[in-house]
A = this chain, B = another copy of it.
Amino acid sequence: MKFIVLAGGSGTRLWPLSRRNFPKQFLKLKLLNKNQDESFFQRTLKRIFAYPESEIFVVTNEKYKFYILAQIEELLDLSDKKSKIEIILEPAQKNTAPAIAMALKYALDKGVSRDETFLVCPSDHLIYPDEEFLNYINRADKLAKDGYIVTFGIVPNRAETGFGYIKIKEDHKDKDFYKVDKFIEKPDIETAIRYLKEGCYYWNSGLFAFNANSIIEEFQLQIPQLAELISISEESIIDYFNQLPDISIDYAVMEKTKKAVLIPMKIFWSDIGSWESLYEVTDKDENGNSINANSVNINTKNTLMIGNTRLITTIGLEDLIIVETEDALLIAKKGQSHKVKDLVNILSEKQLPQVEEHITSYRPWGSFTLLEKGLRYKIKRITVNPGASLSLQMHHHRSEHWIVVKGTAKVTIGDKEIYVHENESVYVPKSTLHRLENPGKVILEIIEVQVGEYVEEDDIKRFDDAYGRQDI
């Protein structure tokens, strides 16, 4: 059995924590009996690692590559190294159907058999316990081998209007799988209550299992372009992919196929699709507050509070969502956080940077954080991983003062190479070729003060270097 992990989504429903360039799957949140140091993406991988000899195909987008690489690296330190992970970059951000087809093509080109079972996993959902999950996918493996396309339905424990549903055909006696009748969008509350009563409706977990042959047959029947993708040649794939429709696997295949079955899962599952649903899966204090912030609260109840460095104080609040980040603050009434979508659209129209990025941006070599922007200067904290290096570059409108506060830097300025140690500084004049490297064994941390008549990011000329990279 092989695994396709969908990690290309750009969801901002948890804005301001999730941003277009740092979506939900990469967030590390403090959740019920979970390790805060793991993101949704990392938990998804660990769930799969439990499966013996798991081979994982992660489908993502160019702009998330750095996060994927960094978070996988963090994990492999802990996990047994048995799992094989391959990263597939979608040429464009399409929906789940093209992404899955792309992963399949890649796997088959790599020599995976067409009789192989594939499990498709979203990377931004919360599922536990992992062991039970493993039993369910083993069952799915058998069904997939028999040619079924397997969905996983969560047995509802409440009338939930936030999820999509799957209706089964037969009476819901306690069988271990059912024929699928139909897929249903998020219902209103009355309908959800009826679904809960009737019992033949399940939450759509977004997980699918199938063997390559049967899904390709279905592609052929429903969306032939997807089937053709499998056999398209390397060089023409990008153009071809860009032509593909923006369509989800549910619409493209699942809602139409006759092979769909459902395995009912009695397991905890949530897609954490809103701040309210996040609140549900966090620990609360005796006042129903879920507080992960440096805060002092008076008369405050049933409030979700996620903070950063700043002190958050509250008086007389109830049922609020308060999320504080370095550059943006959200205060929303519980029950209305679905409007975060509208909010993000407004910020987008206003072209506010808070929609796209956090003040800390990650790169393959490390990260940089904007600390302060003045009229003619800018201050950044830059961290460079051991052995890593930035590309050779030059700025025409600013000089840079670098002060090493941790580790040792190897700095190239013009044709000189020097080492700069903790508490030493170096000056990079305008229009001078320079490169920053960390030749050492510990993280390099420098404070960069840029001074000049123009201190925007786009005043940079990059030069192909020994590493052939142009990342920054």
Contacts and interface: CB of A to CB of B under 8 A. Distances in A.
Contacts of A320: 317, 331
A317 B318 CA distance: 11
A418 interface: no
Nearest to A311: B328
B329 A447 contact: no
A328 B310 contact: yes
Interface string A324-351: 1011111111011101101100110010
A449 B403 contact: yes
Contacts of A347: 296, 311, 313
Interface string A419-459: 00011010100000000000000000101010110000000
- Interface residues of A toward B: which range? 35 or more
A183 B376 CA distance: 57
A298 B342 contact: yes
A313 B343 contact: yes
A317 B333 contact: yes
A315 B296 contact: no
A399 interface: yes
A296 B343 contact: yes
A313 B330 contact: yes
Contacts of A313: 16, 328-331, 343, 347
A329 B339 contact: no
A391 to B, nearest CB: 24
A277 B261 CA distance: 64
Interface in A350-375: 350, 352, 354, 371-372, 374-375
A379 B374 CA distance: 14
Given A313-B330, A315-B336, A324-B329, A376 B405 contact: yes
Contact of A299 (B316, B322, B336, B350): B336
A231 B328 CA distance: 58
Secondary structure of the A contact surface, majority rule: strand
Nearest to A404: B451
Nearest to A315: B332
Contact of A310 (B299, B329, B379): B329
Given A371-B372, A405-B449, A423-B451, A317 B331 contact: yes
Contacts of A405: 374, 376-377, 449, 451
A322 B320 CA distance: 13
A312 B298 contact: no
A340 B330 CA distance: 22
B339 A312 contact: no
Interface string A375-408: 1110101000000000000000001010101100
Given A339-B316, A371-B371, A354 B311 contact: yes
* Of A314, A347, A447, most B-chain CB atoms within 10 Å: A447
B403 A422 contact: no
Interface in A243-272: none
A354 to B, nearest CB: 5
21 contacts: A16-B313, A296-B346, A298-B343, A298-B346, A311-B327, A313-B329, A314-B331, A315-B339, A315-B343, A316-B336, A316-B339, A320-B331, A324-B329, A374-B405, A374-B445, A375-B406, A377-B447, A405-B451, A423-B452, A425-B425, A449-B449
Given A311-B354, A316-B336, 15 more contacts: A298-B339, A310-B327, A311-B328, A312-B329, A313-B330, A316-B333, A317-B320, A331-B331, A371-B371, A371-B372, A374-B381, A379-B379, A401-B403, A401-B425, A447-B449
